[in-house]
Amino acid sequence: MGYPMAKNLRKGLDTNTTLLICDVNTDALERFVAETAGQGPVRVVPNGYTAAQAADTVITMLPNAAAVAAVYLDPATGILAGAGASPPAAPQTKLIMECGTIETPTILAVATATSASPVASSLTFVDAPVSGGPMGAQDATLTFMVGCDPTTSAQTFPRVQSLLAHMGSPSGIFLCGAVGAGTAFKVINNYLSAITSLAASEALNIGVKAGLDPALLTAVINASGGQCWVTSKSNPVPGVQAGVPSSRGYEGGFRIELCAKVLAMGSQLAKSVGARTVLDAPTLRAFEEAMADARYRGKDARVVYKWLNESES
């Protein structure tokens, strides 16, 4: 996700603006520099500390809570330490933004550490998780759900929008509330998406087993009350839609392991707010059973259709 997002950001930025890049994969860094040659300056930096020292904006796309804690909070190599070592001149502020889908306690811990920083008055932390998957990242059509301090959002959000518009749809950048709200919106969206992935796969598998034409069945569903993003934008039946993971062996897309992770995050959020849920537990069990089989492990989450289709009733 981060690679195509960064490529679109480089493409959209002014050619005089330097883009700093950092990743644990050195091959990806070398490839990025080569592929963006001529679009504007690109410089590799070793860690978040160096990036935050040099840049007025730092955007991260990290895989999990442990990575976020390390990249932001490490006293030697972290973003907050780097920002503190090189604060901007007033009234400018450094903007730091995490775009991954990370557990709320970790996002709030970074927000708290930012507020406690000696340079807190010149430092703004925003959570802006994305939806749209690798295809949306590639096409710059991502949706962003932004959480930022309400007391400064009038100044911060337009700045955030101007950057995210290079990587997503301008109409799909939403101010969701305070820091952490963007993450809650994202988790709830993915909770629903995970469940509909299984539900749509079950429905289409029933049709295929009954001898119905899956393309025609999809067309009818999409013109009727059963329509959802899975049936219309990422159909799980191979051959029904071109350019989607199911039509290329379920490669690419949103891996089933990540889908299960965010479904579990949704369940945790529900418990924390006292919301009753019914469909999350059986859906998670289905994902776990599919992931236990090497034929489906590591594939796009819509591989649950193939798992259902090849399973005995």
Q: Which residues are catalytic?
A: 186
Paired with 57 in beta bridges are 95
- Tell me the backbone φ, ψ of residue 180, rounded to 5 degrees: 105, -25
The amino acid present at 105, given as its one-letter code, is P
Ramachandran angles phi, psi of 211, nearest 5°: 85, 15
Distance CA 237, CA 247 (A): 8
Exposure pattern of 253-273 as b/e (b: 16+ CB <10 Å)?
Answer: bbbbebbbbbbbbbbebbeee
Q: Is the dihedral of CA 197, 203, 208, 213 positive or negative?
A: negative
Task: Give Rg (Cα) of the chain.
Answer: 21
Enumerate the β-bridge partners of residue 188: none
Q: CA 45 to CA 228: how far, in whole Å?
A: 42
d(CA 265, CA 184): 9
Distance CA 114, CA 237 (A): 46
